[in-house]
């Protein structure tokens, strides 16, 4: 089933208390947990790998929620099996990260996961039209870091993505998403809202989850 609603990004969580942080957002109603994987090549930072997915998989699945893996890595097709095995429910790869995008998306489906294709702010919406994916991730900041400001040009791009793919597939937004930007993205066709800083960077992550859900009619 398609992903929907708020997807807290654990990139902004306190890693010393990861299970507790995930528990808080699940209890607040989040049904998607977003995991940002960075390799130090496609984007400069190195973050986490399949071990972290494995560590939270049981907790997330027991809450009837999904683990959404965002691969910001070169040649993502080589890592798909490991993330699927660790417990990923959906895996998104960047159109810019591999010459084998179609193959990578096929491999994700064959591994039993929902497939996503991500595009950077500098990549035109048309880059997704040649491939079949369950979800399109429209980056609303340049990938690599949390806490950046939402790019306003994303709104027109979301509308273009909807023109290209129709009403059905999930469209995810990621970067600078809070109550206000999430509502604007929802109006432009987004259905999945990744939020890191606006959730885990606040005093009350549970309240933030509820506020973003309400702002997007979730």
Which residues are designated catalytic?
36, 174
CA 42 vs. chain centroid, Å, equals 16
Q: Distance of CA 187 to CAs 15, 116, 137, 158, 169, Å?
A: 33, 21, 16, 10, 15
Task: Give me the least distance between CB of 166 and ligand DX5, in Å please.
Answer: 25
- Interface with Zn ion includes 36 (CB under 5 A)? yes
Task: Give me the least distance between CB of 174 and Zn ion, in Å please.
Answer: 4
Task: Give me the least distance between CB of 141 and Zn ion, in Å please.
Answer: 9
| 176 interacts with, out of Zn ion, ligand DX5, none, CB within 5 to 8 A per kind | ligand DX5
The DSSP bridge pattern shows strands 135-139 and 170-174 to be parallel
Q: Distance of CA 2 to CAs 114, 118, 134, 136, 161, Å?
A: 8, 16, 7, 11, 17
| 189 interacts with, out of Zn ion, ligand DX5, none, CB within 5 to 8 A per kind | none
Give the interface segment with Zn ion, choosing from 67-75, 128-136, 180-188, 200-208 (CB under 5 A).
Answer: 67-75
Determine which residue in the list 70, 94, 157, 184 makes contact with Zn ion, applying CB under 5 A: 70
Residue with Cβ nearer ligand DX5 (8 or 169):
8
Residue with Cβ nearer ligand DX5 (24 or 197):
197
Task: Give me the least distance between CB of 46 and ligand DX5, in Å please.
Answer: 13
Q: What angle do CA 114, 116, 121 make, to 5 degrees?
A: 165
User: At residue 42, what are phi and psi to the nearest 5 degrees?
Assistant: -65, -40
Span 141-180, contacts to Zn ion by CB under 5 A:
174
Residue with Cβ nearer ligand DX5 (115 or 197):
197
Task: Give me the least distance between CB of 9 and ligand DX5, in Å please.
Answer: 3
Cα–Cα distance for residue pair 81/90, rounded to 1 Å = 12
> Are the C-beta atoms of 24 and 33 separated by less than 8 Å?
no
Name the residue whose CB lies closest to Zn ion.
Answer: 70
Residues at the interface with ligand DX5 (CB under 6 A): 9, 11-12, 34, 36, 70, 141, 143-144, 146-148, 174-177, 194-198
Q: Where are the alpha helices (DSSP H) in the chain?
A: 18-27, 50-62, 80-86, 101-110, 154-165, 179-187, 197-200, 205-215
Angle of helix 154-165 versus helix 179-187 axis, rounded to 10: 40
Residue with Cβ nearer ligand DX5 (106 or 201):
201
Question: Which residues contribute to the site for Zn ion (CB under 5 A)?
Answer: 36, 70, 174
């Amino acid at each position: 089933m398609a992903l929907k609603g708020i997807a807290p990004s654990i990139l902004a969580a306190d890693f010393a208390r990861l299970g507790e942080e995930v528990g808080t957002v699940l209890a607040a109603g989040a049904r998607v947990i977003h995991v940002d994987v960075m390799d130090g090549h496609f984007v400069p930072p190195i973050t986490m790998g399949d071990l972290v997915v494995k560590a939270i998989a049981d907790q997330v699945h027991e809450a009837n929620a999904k683990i959404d893996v965002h691969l910001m890595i070169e040649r993502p097709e080589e890592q798909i099996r490991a993330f699927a095995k660790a417990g990923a429910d959906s895996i998104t790869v960047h159109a810019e990260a591999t010459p084998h995008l179609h193959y990578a998306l096929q491999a994700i489906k064959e591994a039993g996961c929902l497939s996503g294709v991500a595009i950077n702010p500098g990549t035109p919406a048309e880059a997704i039209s040649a491939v079949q994916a369950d979800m399109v991730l429209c980056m609303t900041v340049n990938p690599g870091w949390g806490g950046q400001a939402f790019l306003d040009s994303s709104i027109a791009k979301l509308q273009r993505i909807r023109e290209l793919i129709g009403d059905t597939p999930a469209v995810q937004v990621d970067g600078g998403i809070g109550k206000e930007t999430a509502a604007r993205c929802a109006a432009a066709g987004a259905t999945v809202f990744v939020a890191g800083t606006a959730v885990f960077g606040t005093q009350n992550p549970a309240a933030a989850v509820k506020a973003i859900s309400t702002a997007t009619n979730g």
